[in-house]
Structure 1
Amino acid sequence: MSKKFITLLTDFGYEDHYIAVLKGIIYSICPEAFVVDITHSIPKFNTKVASCILNFAYKYFPRGTIHSVTVYPEVGTNMKALIMKTKNYVFVGPDNGVLSIAAEDDGIEKVYEITNKDYMRDDMSRTFHGRDIFAPVPAFLACGVKPEDMGVQVYDYHTISMEKSYVKNESITGEIIHVDSYGNVIMNIGKEQLDSLNVLDGEILEVHVGVIKYEIVFAETFSGISPGKLGLIIDSENLLELCVFKGSAAKMVSASIGDKIQLKKKS
């Protein structure tokens, strides 16, 4: 049997035993699986951030990888547990929209509600469905169980809609969608939108973060920004990123996820 990859993405953090429990269950069911942690540092209960991180990461794994997500403030309710089969991957998680952006990006083929208790833990709790559903289900999938054997096909499920950035009157409006561990502030503004303003390396942009205006250089690399100064670059996902060379942009501008961004060329 070829090695089957399972990824885990949660808001559990690294201080407790929860991640080890998930991995222990997966390896007990399917020793041939290979488990990769995307991250367990999602802000608590923040399904929007989790969906963004999943969308950033999923596509770099081998075809057939099973992506399991447990960011689930609704745990213990009657919310459905889902398997989403897409063109190249399988996604497992709660029906709160956390899977939707990545799954739609890859192309959803079928969606199943997990109903067969044979593939859940016998002693189901109301507080730890990561252990009881979202670890065993991907493990059984990795060992060859088909999604249709685990539940019933459904056509209604929740999605998360991301606000779109837009260009108007030589200005781009967007929002902050992620702040990484370096303090880089990532926006939903793409390279093509910046290109529409014909912004060149070294140009100064007027950037409003909330109600505060900054004048910030656009650079092609981090080293094109003076140490300790704010800069703008296009990151590896072709998204605009506010950064500080060898520093934290998030701290410098007190930026938070969801803050509005507006930028234009300096007049």
Structure 2
Amino acid sequence: MTDFGEDDFFVASLKGVIAKINPSARIIDITHRLPSFDIKAGSFILFSSFKYFPARTIFLVVVDPGVGTSRNIVLAKTENYFFIAPDNGVLSLVLEDETIKQLREVTNQDYFLPELSRTFEGRDKMAPAAAWLSRGISCEEFGPETTSYKKSYAEKPQIKRDEIIGHIIYIDKFGNLITNIPERMLELLQKKTGKKTLSLSINDREITSFEQSYSFGKKGELLFLIGSLGLVEIAAKESSAAQKLKIKNRDKCKIIVRNE
């Protein structure tokens, strides 16, 4: 998974390095169209998809605005998976959710390319390390153990009296606004107030249609729902909620879900 896009040589170089070291490696692309330099978007997309992969999958994540600096490269082993990425917060959500078995700095040059650049460590260090790991090299060989990793902190939704305050964490291809409000918080709010009817406010717009899926309501009408990740999403039927509300990716917005 990278923010490289698909028009340049970057992704092909990563895959070539892996195939040369381990020709039998199976490579599945999560995405290469992350917003450039957007560590939080990378963290969210990885977190949203990793659990659907087979056990012992190795995730190579290259969203690396700090390439060439003193930031570390980390290898994380959890109960079921392996992750190699720059230590810049992109693994935050995954590692907070998973049980970490080992966490190591990737420093052993035996598992890098012979010639290193300062501007493409994804190709020269991370991809070969992932390939050698897939060949059965043990985690201990890649570098010293560490006890900490950089965390990219996100605001937590809060229940205040009869409302929940949250914010947008991701905008998908369809213009749906994914919030940080989990379904269980709506249930807690309903239980706390004893009321069932919900409405949502964002950018001074009141949305009263709380639906089961994107296909309900009139075309272009704003609605909110619980998406496939178990989070509140704001959508517009067969349209873009982001465009209708004039919201860009990662804009700070206060979302208030009231129980009426």
TM norm structure 2: 0.93
CA RMSD of aligned residues (A): 1.5
Question: Per-residue deviation at 1:254?
Answer: 1.3
| Alpha-carbon distance in 2 for matches of 1:206, 1:143 | 51
The SS at the match of 1:62 is coil
Structure 1 unaligned residues grouped into runs of 5+: 1-8
> Residue type of the partner of 1:122?
P
Match of 2:155 among 158, 163, 169: 163
Q: What amino acid sits opposite 1:215 in the alignment?
A: I
Q: What amino acid does structure 2 have at the position aligned with 1:231?
A: L
Structure holding more strand per residue: 1
In 2, are the aligned partners of 1:171 and 1:262 still within 8 Å (CA)? no
* Residues 91 and 103 in structure 1, CA contact (< 8 A), matched pair in contact too: no
| TM-score, length-scaled by structure 1 | 0.91
Residue ranges of structure 2 left out of the alignment (5+ in a row):
none
Q: Is the 8 A contact 1:86 1:107 kept in 2?
A: yes
User: What is the SS of the residue equivalent to 1:36?
Assistant: coil
Query: What is the Cα deviation at residue 214 of structure 1?
Result: 2.3
Distance 1:238 1:187 in 2: 10
The one-letter code matched in structure 2 to 1:244 is A
Equivalent of 1:228, from 204, 216, 220? 220
1:106 aligns with 2:98: yes
May I ask how many residue pairs the two structures share in their alignment?
255
What amino acid is the match of 1:26?
I
* Structure 1 residue 222 displacement after superposition: 1.5
Mean alpha-carbon deviation: is it higher for 251-260 or for 69-78? 251-260
Are 2:15 and 1:10 aligned? Answer: no
Q: Distance in 2 between matches of 1:48 and 1:24?
A: 27
1:261 positional shift: 2.8
Matched position secondary structure for 1:133:
helix
2: distance between equivalents of 1:88 and 1:162?
Answer: 25
Equivalent residues of 2:165, 2:257 under 8 A apart: no
Moved more, 97-106 or 253-262: 253-262
Q: Does 1:263 align with 2:260?
A: no
1:57 aligns with 2:49: yes
Structure 1 residue 266, shift from structure 2 partner? 6.9
What's the counterpart of residue 232 of structure 2? 240
Check 1:266–1:206 CA distance in 2 against 1; reply closer, same or farther (3 A cut). farther
Amino acid at match of 2:202: H
1:146 and 2:138 are equivalent in the alignment = yes
- Measure, in 1, the Cα distance between the counterparts of 2:109 and 2:211: 54
Aligned 8 A contact 2:189 2:259 in 1: no
Q: Is 1:35 the counterpart of 2:20 in the alignment? A: no
